[in-house]
Amino acid sequence: MAEKLMPAEMRLLVTGGAGFIGANFCHYWRQRFPQGHLVVLDALTYAGNQASLAGLMNQAGFHFAEGDINDTPLVEKLLHEHKLNTIVHFAAESHVDRSIHDPDAFLHTNILGTHSLLRAARKVWLDAPGGVIPHRFHHISTDEVYGTLGPQDPPFREDTPYAPNSPYAASKAASDHLVRAYQHTYGLRTTTSNCSNNYGPYHFPEKLIPLVILNILHGRPLPIYGDGQQVRDWLFVEDHCQGIGLILERGEEGESYNIGGHNEWTNLDIVRLICELLDTAFAADSSLAQRFPHAAPAQGKAAERLISYVKDRPGHDRRYAIDASKIGRELGYTPQHSFAEGIRKTVDWYLQHSDWWQPLLGDAYAQWVQKQYAG
């Protein structure tokens, strides 16, 4: 087995670092290793936002490159120029609903893009003229590759067979298989993590939790797909970043690790909880009603009155749940945030950062939301 790189020796290429989890990871990693070298490669799609990296952009040792992971020569150039020895691969099309409307972009980025990165890593690290360069390729994946669970089924383990149900999940499953194949065939030093639903700061407001927070603040309906009894296992994003950090540090080459929060909630209960939190926040702080005059609680109404049942998502997975015992046992992982703490922090973050989300609510976003919920 090849020797592991120590975190202080790692020079990182973070793909998708301007997205939700990638940006949180950059902040997390720079806090832990302020002297480290970190290059973000991000195509700045609708989901990428340089504002999420504010505070890092001008730091020594931090570089931002705008570009597509499918641009193999660009990836090779970055690996060479910055002497990068670690890829942490977040870049993806990540929204299930978009994958149902337009799967092509998911195949392009999630499958071909991952392959482009693997090819560049193989060329630069394995086929180097002076022999193999010590390296690590960490691939970020999702629990959605395992498909759906019944109410009594045990949670997903690393050996649960893959059964992806949406074009998004299928494209992520394909990328996981490519990573595995590059490790098995060429000896690329890879690890993969499959994580449950994340929530926290910098989350693009098309996903359930930020969408509900912002819709309450704007007095808009809170769309619940189908009966709202679908179950997700929510993890605070910083806890995901901690898990990735542990895998980079101690994870075994060729292994996959499930990361989750032991925190299953129905969608309806999550939405009700956020409604309660915002009602309480408005009751405690009268300045919120001035800042968000259209919010239901600013008008004396309970936010829950905005709940609106809409047509279900086609092929909607009923339940996800993660068994995270392997990463706990082997790498000493435990999430640091209770759900009560994480969701309160998240709601507060959105209340305090309208400067971050306001510019996202432009025409393109409004059109997408309108198309999504029409009928």
Q: Which residues are identified as catalytic?
A: 143-144, 168
| Pick 135 or 203: Cβ nearer ligand NAD | 203
Q: How many residues lie near ligand TYD (CB under 6 A)? A: 12
**Residues 50-69 contacting ligand NAD, CB under 6 A:** 68-69
Pick the binder of ligand TYD from 223, 245, 261, 335 (CB under 6 A).
223
> Measuring CA to CA, how many Å separate 134 from each of 72, 88, 181, 369?
20, 15, 19, 45
Find which of ligand TYD, ligand NAD, none residue 272 binds, CB within 5 to 8 Å per kind.
Answer: none
Contact 157, 326 (CB under 8 A): yes
Query: Which of these, 126, 102, 127, lies nearest to 189 by C-alpha position?
Result: 126
Per-position b or e across 168-201, b if 16+ CB within 10 A of its CB: bbbbbbbbbebbeebbeeeebbbbbbbbbbbbbb
Helix axes 167-186, 114-121, angle to 10 degrees: 20
State yes or no: residue 90 binds ligand NAD (CB under 6 A).
yes
Pick the binder of ligand NAD from 39, 53, 84, 140 (CB under 6 A).
140
Contact 346, 201 (CB under 8 A): yes
| Pick 181 or 281: Cβ nearer ligand NAD | 181
Find which of ligand NAD, ligand TYD, none residue 47 binds, CB within 5 to 8 Å per kind.
Answer: ligand NAD
Contact 198, 235 (CB under 8 A): yes
Measure the CA–CA gap between 27 and 62, rounded to whole angstroms: 11
**Residues 227-266 contacting ligand TYD, CB under 6 A:** 230, 232
Contact 50, 26 (CB under 8 A): no
Measure the CA–CA gap between 101 and 165, rounded to whole angstroms: 14
Query: Which of these, 19, 104, 106, 10, lies nearest to 64 by C-alpha position?
Result: 19
Sign of CA dihedral 174, 175, 178, 184: negative
From 14-22, 96-104, 223-231, 329-337, give the range in contact with ligand NAD by CB under 6 A. Answer: 14-22
Least CB distance to ligand NAD at residue 160 (A): 15
**Residues 176-205 contacting ligand NAD, CB under 6 A:** 195, 197-198, 204
* Other Cβ atoms closer than 10 A to 138: 22
State yes or no: residue 142 binds ligand NAD (CB under 6 A).
yes
State yes or no: residue 43 binds ligand NAD (CB under 6 A).
yes
Pick the binder of ligand NAD from 14, 42, 220, 236 (CB under 6 A).
42
Query: What character string, x for contact with ligand TYD (CB under 6 A) and - otherwise, covers 266-305?
Result: -x--------------------------------------
Least CB distance to ligand TYD at residue 137 (A): 24
In the chain the first and final C-alpha atoms are separated, in Å, by 56
Pick the binder of ligand TYD from 47, 195, 208, 216 (CB under 6 A).
208
Q: How many residues lie near ligand NAD (CB under 6 A)? A: 30
* Other Cβ atoms closer than 10 A to 143: 27
- Residues lying near ligand NAD in the complex (CB under 6 A) are found at 15-16, 18-22, 42-45, 47-48, 68-70, 90-94, 109, 113, 140, 142, 172, 195, 197-198, 204
- Residues lying near ligand TYD in the complex (CB under 6 A) are found at 96, 197, 207-208, 211, 223-225, 230, 232, 267, 313
